[in-house]
Chain A
């Protein structure tokens, strides 16, 4: 298990460290400022904080000393004249995803934003440029729309470690897109997904993958918690299969995590339907599958079973070795040392949690 947890929260950037058998707070930065994503680049151990100032806009900071000092770098900016739709100017409203470019591209960093722009830096994050090919994709202006946020947003960026020019991204609401040439051209990968909220169930885009993740041990195995169900692909997003339970608990939710060492083992954090978005029957539950989604097992041991309203946002359920952690909208942070069989509380009094990451 990696021994640090980074949290992006509504009131700051928080790091926890596991020492002598327990988690303790290591760092609090940007106190009071909403942090949409707290991210560590494993290649350099650089920590990143994507800030969503209520007054001062989206900002980006990085630290090379585990949060002791921070340097502000230029936030991604849409080029002059960019429009979300005809007559609606585009500005960066939120940073919703961050991913490093891989070993072959040591200076490359990807950012996903609301209102739907993917940005790339080729200089370790000093400057970010809009990926124009995706921004000008013929489906964007008419076929993408807001989901979770007012405008379309990119929340998932998966760089294939075997070929780092191949990237899948997840967009709410548009679906899954793939590039195999570092973003020069894009292909829609929504086959097999469904969306009962769309007037045309066979639409090319408009799907709502709440989060898309890849299995470390087999990057062709992609999983997504979708607005409508849970989907898995065994062929690198060429086809998606619905693996959500029709009547059971594992269906609606936002987050999903895959075991590092087993592409068939994954966890979801179920919530009530999209009508209420609360904990199911006032209780917290994580569901695990060990067979690629054929069956799901409820994991409640150590989690509160009454009076809960928490949901788990899309970047807030993560795994590392046998360990699992998740953070909730009402500021609860939980840890499991045994793949969800039992749960411990790290803190019940945090701000709303936007992101969780295990790092070294």
Chain B
């Protein structure tokens, strides 16, 4: 089962957030499972269409995903999936 790791910035809104194993065949399924552990979290990472927000990135085993719209990038049961924020703004 892949492990999901989160940027520290999300802890401001979800203080109990920690590395979380989550099952699923697609990233969308992973997010559904994450949502049951942390209600509301997926709306911080994805917009209402399920696409990745503009200033958020997901890396699978160190590689940035390429499909930000439908989240179709593949992963394996041992994958580490990182959710990070872009370093932007001021």
Residues of A bordering B, CB below 8 Å: 53-57, 59, 72, 74-75, 77-78, 80, 89, 91-92
Q: Secondary structure at chain B's binding surface: helix, strand, loop or mixed? A: loop
Q: Secondary structure at chain A's binding surface: helix, strand, loop or mixed? A: loop
Whether the Cβ atoms of A75 and B43 lie closer than 8 Å is yes
Residues of B within 8 A of A74 (CB): 43
Cα distance, A135 to B45, chains bound together (Å): 26
Cα distance, A89 to B56, chains bound together (Å): 19
Residues of B within 8 A of A92 (CB): 47-48
Q: A72-B40, A75-B43 are in contact. Are A56 and B48 (CB under 8 A)?
A: no
Specify the chain A residue showing the minimal Cβ separation from B53: A57
Whether the Cβ atoms of A55 and B43 lie closer than 8 Å is no
Specify the chain A residue showing the minimal Cβ separation from B54: A55
Residues of B within 8 A of A59 (CB): 43-44
Whether the Cβ atoms of A57 and B44 lie closer than 8 Å is yes
- Shortest distance between the CB of A171 and any CB in chain B (Å): 21
Whether the Cβ atoms of B48 and A91 lie closer than 8 Å is yes
Q: Mark B6-31, 1 if CB is under 8 A from A, else 0.
A: 00011001000000000000000000
Residues of A within 8 A of B89 (CB): 54-55
Cα distance, A59 to B41, chains bound together (Å): 12
Q: A78-B48, A80-B49, A91-B49 are in contact. Are A54 and B13 (CB under 8 A)?
A: no
What are 17 A-B pairs with beta-carbon distances under 8 A?
Answer: A53-B44, A54-B55, A55-B44, A55-B55, A55-B56, A55-B86, A55-B88, A56-B10, A56-B44, A56-B45, A57-B47, A59-B43, A72-B40, A77-B48, A78-B48, A91-B49, A92-B48
Residues of B within 8 A of A77 (CB): 48
- Shortest distance between the CB of A173 and any CB in chain B (Å): 24
Which of A56, A78, A89 has the most chain B CB within a 10 Å cutoff?
A: A56
Cα distance, A74 to B56, chains bound together (Å): 20
Cα distance, A78 to B10, chains bound together (Å): 24
Q: A54-B89, A55-B9, A55-B56 are in contact. Are A89 and B49 (CB under 8 A)?
A: yes
Whether the Cβ atoms of B55 and A91 lie closer than 8 Å is no
Residues of A within 8 A of B3 (CB): none
Specify the chain B residue showing the minimal Cβ separation from A78: B48
Residues of B within 8 A of A75 (CB): 43
Q: How many chain B residues have a CB neighbour from A under 8 Å?
A: 17
- Shortest distance between the CB of A225 and any CB in chain B (Å): 29
Cα distance, A56 to B54, chains bound together (Å): 9
Specify the chain B residue showing the minimal Cβ separation from A76: B48
B85 proximal to A (CB < 8 A): yes
Cα distance, A172 to B53, chains bound together (Å): 25
- Shortest distance between the CB of A359 and any CB in chain B (Å): 26
Whether the Cβ atoms of B88 and A56 lie closer than 8 Å is no
Whether the Cβ atoms of A56 and B86 lie closer than 8 Å is no
Contact of B53 among A55, A72, A78, A80 (CB under 8 A): A55
- Shortest distance between the CB of B10 and any CB in chain A (Å): 8
Residues of B within 8 A of A56 (CB): 10, 13, 44-45, 53, 56
The 9 closest A-B pairs by CB, nearest first: A77-B48, A56-B44, A54-B89, A55-B55, A91-B47, A55-B85, A91-B48, A57-B53, A89-B49
- Shortest distance between the CB of B35 and any CB in chain A (Å): 13
Residues of A within 8 A of B49 (CB): 80, 89, 91
- Shortest distance between the CB of A84 and any CB in chain B (Å): 12
Residues of A within 8 A of B47 (CB): 57, 91-92
Within 8 A of A (CB), among B40-90: 40, 43-45, 47-49, 53, 55-56, 85-86, 88-89
Residues of A within 8 A of B85 (CB): 55
Cα distance, A74 to B49, chains bound together (Å): 15
Specify the chain A residue showing the minimal Cβ separation from B87: A55
